[in-house]
Amino acid sequence: MEKQKTIAREVCLKGVGIHTGNKVNVAFKPAEADSGVTFVRTDIPGAPRIKAGVGSLLAQELSRRSSIGDSQAQVQTVEHLMASLSSLGIDNIDVGIDNNELPGLDGSAAGFVEALEDAGIKEQESQKYIYTVKEPINIQDGSSSITILPSSEFKVSYTLNYDHPMLAAQFLEIAVNAKSFKSEIAPARTFCLESEASQLQNQGLGLGANYENTLVVGKAGVIKNSLRFKDEFVRHKILDLIGDLYLAGCSIRGHVIALKSGHSLNLKIAQKIHEQRIKTQGAQAMKEVLDINEIMKILPHREPFLFVDRVTHLEKGKRAVGIKNVTINDYFFRGHFPGRPVMPGVLILEAMAQVGGVMMLASEENRGKLAFFMAIDNAKFRKTVVPGDTLVFEVEAGKMRSKIGTVHGKALVDGKVVAEADLMFALVED
């Protein structure tokens, strides 16, 4: 039974984004168990947090790299760092970043590995989740394909085949672990064809690229540089693939067989793994639907101050989704803009907090406790809520300690966010 891991101390590095050319500073910080890999845009007011995963993938018009974010913030070119985290076994980490792209460094993952190893890797108490492939998974697009077969280890077999004499029919099979990744995969650098270089820069890509951090392949060979491995190109494709797969949100045990795959196909199979993982964990985790009577067994609130009608999804201590049906009969409409009824914003946050309270108090170790507010941060109200609306609250656990918990919550109406906030609770004995 493996345990989750984070880093032991904060460590920083800086550089230039290989596509945007933007200067960037990065700070790696330890994170609580079960919090995952989270990017924090420190240059944006409110320091929005972006959870690394397929749910936050940006549209593929950001080609030739894997990028995550939303309308507020984004982080481009995450694959080299994600591959390093995956291979070093780091499950939980906060990545503070003050621009929109991770540094390209020397075009490989070696600098990320060095920084993370310098920070030290620390085991945590919580059990690590590893997705073990039970049945073959396959995805294909033209002549490119990825198949994942059951295996007792994480192994990658990759075949590269470009229409270029230096890039024809390279193959490598490797069992991926911290040692093999550091020595055999991490140093492999990104590459492009000389014929592509000017076209890419005309498209706004590769603005931070140069002959030191990108292997530019001409007709006669690599220009103004030399190879670290005779098959460095296929090794770098494996590096990208490992990083993209870690966006599925978990480590993998299986044999990945890839033929000419790139980011687009990699991320599609990561999505498949994520979907299967959710189904698998759904059978293992206690995902429940709670009606109002079951909610009242967990929360001390009662009418007229119980604002959650139903919890439709519950992962104890991790995530919950709750619903409130807003009606004209709700008592607060009698005094809050009665001529034009609007639900008070503070009550939207209170309802959100109640869903968060259910999530935290539903576990056996917290049953019977009370959840008291300690802080509300980054609260935003984006749209009024009126009678007839159905509020859907989505809350996810942040940092959790024995007596203090934080959650990030969103309130939605018709799929659009109407309010959001970060909430901190103290858990106390009744």
| 313 catalytic residue (yes or no) | no
Q: For residue 5, list its beta bridge partners.
A: 123
Longest dimension (CA), the chain: 80
**Buried b / exposed e across 128-147, counting CB within 10 Å, b at 16+?**
bbebebeeebebeeeebbbb
- pLDDT-based confidence at residue 286 (cuts at 50, 70, 90): very low
Give me the pLDDT at residue 1, please.
66
Average pLDDT over residues 286-308: 81
**Residue 334 pLDDT greater than 60, yes or no:** yes
R_g of the chain, CA atoms, integer Å? 24
Give me the pLDDT at residue 427, please.
81
Are 313 and 400 in the same domain?
yes
| 255 catalytic residue (yes or no) | no
Give me the pLDDT at residue 203, please.
66
**Domain boundary residue among 284, 306, 325?**
284
Instruction: Report the Cα–Cα distance between both ends of the chain, in Å, rounded.
Output: 35
**Residue 310 pLDDT greater than 80, yes or no:** yes
Give me the pLDDT at residue 293, please.
82
Give me the pLDDT at residue 236, please.
96
Give me the pLDDT at residue 204, please.
65
Are 273 and 324 in the same domain?
no
Are 262 and 309 in the same domain?
no
**Between residues 288 and 191, the one the model is more confident about:** 191
Are 31 and 137 in the same domain?
yes
**Domain boundary residue among 263, 284, 305?**
284
| Domain of residue 13, CATH code | 3.30.1700.10
Contact 96, 40 (CB under 8 A): yes
Are 33 and 181 in the same domain?
yes
Are 331 and 248 in the same domain?
no
φ/ψ bin of 317: left (φ > 0), alpha (ψ from -120 to 50), beta (otherwise) = left
- 3-class SS of residue 280: helix
Cα distance between residue 413 and residue 415, in whole Å: 5
**Domain boundary residue among 253, 284, 315?**
284
Are 276 and 387 in the same domain?
no
Question: From the candidates 255, 263, 274, 408, which is the catalytic residue?
Answer: 263
**Residue 98 pLDDT greater than 90, yes or no:** yes
Are 127 and 217 in the same domain?
yes
Least confident of 199-208, 269-278, 281-290, 348-357: 281-290
Average pLDDT over residues 381-394: 92
Q: What is the pLDDT of residues 261-282, one digit of tens each?
A: 999 999 999 999 998 887 766 5
Give me the pLDDT at residue 337, please.
86
Please count the structural domains in the chain.
2
Are 140 and 262 in the same domain?
yes
Are 241 and 274 in the same domain?
yes
Report the chain's mean pLDDT, rounded to a whole number: 89
Give me the pLDDT at residue 294, please.
83
- Token digits of residue 191: 């590459």
Give me the pLDDT at residue 60, please.
57
**Residue 99 pLDDT greater than 90, yes or no:** yes
| Domain of residue 332, CATH code | 3.10.129.10
- pLDDT-based confidence at residue 39 (cuts at 50, 70, 90): very high
Q: What is the pLDDT of residues 12-29, one digit of tens each?
A: 999 999 989 999 999 999
Domain enclosing residue 16, as ranges: 3-284
- 3-class SS of residue 224: coil
Least confident of 52-56, 66-70, 94-98, 294-298: 294-298
Give me the pLDDT at residue 282, please.
57
Give me the pLDDT at residue 285, please.
46
Contact 264, 139 (CB under 8 A): no
- pTM for the whole thing? 0.67
Which residues, 6+ apart, have CB-to-CB distance to 357 below 8 Å? Answer: 298, 299, 371, 425
Give me the pLDDT at residue 287, please.
45
pLDDT > 90 fraction of the chain, expressed in percent and rounded: 61
Average pLDDT over residues 33-52: 94
Q: What is the pLDDT of residues 201-251, one digit of tens each?
A: 666 676 888 888 889 888 888 999 999 999 999 999 999 999 999 999 999
Q: What is the pLDDT of residues 104-150, one digit of tens each?
A: 999 999 999 999 999 999 999 888 989 999 889 999 999 999 999 99
